[in-house]
Amino acid sequence: MKRTVLLGMAVALAVTLLPSMPTQAAVMPLIEHFHATCSHFSVQFTMQGYTNDANGFDRVRYDVLDGRGTLLYSEDSVRMVNALQTASAVNLPYALAMPAQNPIIFRILDTDYMQRPVGVLAEKRVQSACFAPISRAEYFASLLPQGVKGFTRTETALYGTPNGAPIGIKLPAGREFTGIYRTIDGNWIALYVGGENLVWVRAEDMDMPINGLMFEPTRIDRSQQVTGAVVPSVPLGSATARFTVNFRSAPSTTAPRLGRIPWRARVAVYGRSADNNWILINFNGTFGWVAVRFFTLNDVRLSDLPIVS
């Protein structure tokens, strides 16, 4: 009996000394959609920051590989611990190599405070149409979850890039298509009309709620949270001035004033201050800060903007 009691106490003590682990629901991201072609991929997933790698932030990595193990795309990201957010990108080009063999693999890796991989959190594999046929219904279902439906107002020319040359193909009037992205100035819309790539049309040629469209990403994770003076290379959203407001060189009312932004002006948004009171914008080619309470964020949440001060 005495030996049994001592054994039970030892087991209990060992259990209490084990490091606490996050729940399975917090650990495993959910990859809702992943689709890959020979040149681009689309992905949507929801995940939560759970490991405090440093200063309340969790570091992760997103990799895309082909069936030979060739790394096609890699992106390091960080997010606040316990922050549950969705990230998505449509038609993002591979940055490192082109695939040569199925399956195409999207993998979310847990990394330590030095961005060294320590384990795989989630993985999804797909068969690319480049190497094996897949259902077109499956293709559309995976590619267009974030799109906005609309109709062509007139016969509409297609362009390879905004402000570029037409590609010699026109869409008939009154046809429904799905818009994926728009430009910051709101003059161009990227449509999916078939094939492996998006095409651009003039916004004035489409009957479509343009404010529901995203900006074209250069990264998977628009919602990453970063510290330090890190400014994204592309705007993450836009905002409209509700009043005529001061435009300052730093997120403070005592910072030098760069000028005034007129009522109803639309500006590109790049980040936010740590106290959530200011947003970093670009107005007429100049970066500066404005008080967020004087603006309406059109297509991005304040919490999704990176901390850049």
Residue owning tokens 């060739």:
70
* 120/155 same-domain check: no
Query: Which secondary structure element, helix H or strand E, spans residue 204, and what is its range?
Result: none
- The tokens describing 106, both together, are 């999207």
In a domain, 275, yes or no: yes
**pLDDT, mean of residues 256-265:** 90
**pLDDT, mean of residues 116-130:** 87
Strand 206-207 to strand 237-241: parallel, antiparallel, or no bridges (unpaired)?
unpaired
Q: How far apart are CA 170 and CA 43, in angstroms?
A: 29
What CATH number has the domain bearing residue 267?
Answer: 2.30.30.40
* 43/124 same-domain check: yes
Number of structural domains found in the chain: 3
Q: How far apart are CA 23 and CA 31, in angstroms?
A: 18
- The tokens describing 129, both together, are 């149409």
- As a three-state string, the secondary structure of 175-191 is CEEEEEEECCCCCEEEE
**pLDDT, mean of residues 292-305:** 86
- The tokens describing 69, both together, are 């193990």
In a domain, 2, yes or no: no
What is the model's pLDDT at position 309? 54
The pTM of this model reads 0.54
Strand 30-36 to strand 40-48: parallel, antiparallel, or no bridges (unpaired)?
antiparallel
- For residue 179, what are the domain limits? 147-215
pLDDT single digits (tens) 134-150: 555 555 555 566 678 89
